[in-house]
Structure 1
Amino acid sequence: MKEIIFYGRGGQGAVTAANLLASAALKSGNKGVQAFPFFGAERRGAPVKAFARISNEEIFLRSQIREPDIVVVLDTGIMDVIDVTQGLKENGTILLNTPRNPSELSLPYKTATVDATTIAIENEILVGGIPVVNTPMVGALIRLLDGVKLEALQEAVMERFKGRAGEKNANAVKVAYEKVKL
C-alpha cells in the first residue's frame, strides 16, 4: 500500500488532487483506494492537507495518514509554516512544485520536482488569474507510483472537468508527467 499526503493552500485543489489520484488508481486496476481531506477552519489561502491510499488489496484503515510514503507539496511556501516531512518514511519521497532541480535542494529525502505553476499558466489553468497546480502535480506524482496509468489519470481528469477545461487539465497532466525531475 502507498500512502500519500497532499499539502497545499485552500483553493489550490489539494482535495481534488487526492480524489483524482484515487479515481485514476481505481481505473488502473487497484482494488483499494481512498481519498479524503483534513479540514479545520481553513479559508482560501490557509494551509490544507488531503490524504490518499492506493493498494492492490482492499483497504480497511480509516484514519489519517501519519507516515506517508510520498508527500506532495503544491505550494513550497507552506514549508515555512508546516513541517511537511513529519512522519515521512525513511525511504519516502517528497514531490515539490518548483522550477529547481532536486539536486539543488538539500533535503534528506528522495526529492522530485516539477514546475507545475508554469505548466498551469501555459495550459491556461487559472482561477481569478491565479494558476491552479493540482492536476499537473498529480501528473508528476504518478511517475513516482507503480500501478497508476497516465491514460487513467487523463480519463479521470476529463470526467471531473468537462469540455475545454478537461482538455487543458488532461494536457497539463501529460506535460507534468513528462517533465518531472527525479
Structure 2
Amino acid sequence: MRELRIHGRGGQGSVTAAELIATAAFNSNIYSQAFPAFGVERRGAPVTAFVRFDDKKIRLRSQIYEPDYIIVQDSTLIRDVDVFGGLKEGGIAIINTEKDIPDIPEGIKVIKIDATKIALEVLGLPIENTTLMGAFAAATGEIELDALKEALKERFPSALAEKNIKAAETAYNKVKGGDI
C-alpha cells in the first residue's frame, strides 16, 4: 500500500484534491481511498487530507502517519506544521513554492513547483490543487495523466474542467521535463 498526505489551508481544495486523485487511481483499476481530517477548520486554517493506493482492497481506516508522499499546497505551513513528519525515507514531497526550503529531512526527494503562478496564469485564481495533482502524477506515477483528466471532467463543468486540465498538464510537463 502507498499513502499520500496533503497539507493545505481551508479553502485551497485539499479535500477535493484527495478525492480527485483517488478517483483517477480508481479509474485506472487501482484500489484507492480518500478522506480528510476535520476539526474546527475554517478558511485559512491548516487542513489535512489523505489518499491510499493499493492493488487489493483497502480495509485500513485510520489517518496516515507514515506517508510515501506529501503535497504541501501552502509552503508557509512548513513553519507551523510538521509536514515532513513520518514521511518515509525515499519519499517524495511536492511543495508549492519557488523559494528555498529549510530543514528538509535526509532521504526525501523534494519537488518545488510554483503552482500558484501556474494557477493564476491558467485559471485566473490562486487555486493550485489541480496544478499540484498534475505534479503528483508526474513525480510518482501513482495516477496516469489521462485518468486525472477524466476525473476532472467528471467533477467540473466542461469549461472549468478544461482550464483545470490545462493547469494539471502544465505542472505534469514541467515535472516530467525537469523544468522546475
TM (norm. structure 2) is 0.92
Q: Deviations over 1:23-77 (max 9, x none)?
A: 00011121x1000000110100000000000111111111110100001000000
After TM superposition, give the deviation of residue 7 of structure 1 in Å: 0.2
Whole-Å separation in 2 of the counterparts to 1:80 and 1:96:
13
User: Superposition pairs for residues 106-117 of structure 1, below 5 Å?
Assistant: 107=104, 108=106, 109-117=108-116
Structure 1 segment 100-139 matched on structure 2, within 5 A: 100=99, 105=101, 107=104, 108=106, 109-126=108-125, 131-139=126-134
Alpha-carbon deviation of 1:176? 0.7
1:98 matches 2:97: yes
What CA distance in whole angstroms lies between the structure 2 residues aligned with 1:22 and 1:125? 26
Whether 1:151 aligns to 2:150 is no
Residues 73 and 49 of structure 1: CA distance in aligned 2, closer, same or farther (over 3 Å): same
How far did 1:157 drift?
0.7
Aligned pair count reads: 174
The SS at the match of 1:172 is helix
Q: In the alignment, what sits opposite 1:45?
A: 44
> CA separation of 1:78/1:48 partners in 2, compared to 1, >3 Å: closer, same or farther?
same
Please, which moves more after superposition, 64-73 or 110-119? 110-119
RMSD: 1.4
Distance 1:142 1:79, change over 3 A: same
Q: CA deviation at 1:161?
A: 1.1
- Distance 1:175-1:40 versus aligned 2 partners, 3 A rule: same
Unaligned stretches of 5+ residues in structure 1: none
Q: Which residues in structure 2 correspond to 1:1-150 (within 5 Å)?
A: 1-30=1-30, 32-100=31-99, 105=101, 107=104, 108=106, 109-126=108-125, 131-150=126-145
Q: Is the 8 A contact 1:28 1:147 kept in 2?
A: no
CA deviation vs aligned residue, 1:80-106 (integer Å, no higher than 9, x gap): 110101111122111101125xxx545
Q: Is the 8 A contact 2:137 2:144 kept in 1?
A: yes
Match for 1:41: what amino acid? V
Contact 2:123 2:167 in 1 (8 A): no
Percent identity of equivalent pairs? 47
TM-score by length of 1: 0.91
Contact 1:125/1:168, CA 8 A, preserved across alignment: no
State the shift of 1:145 in Å: 2.3
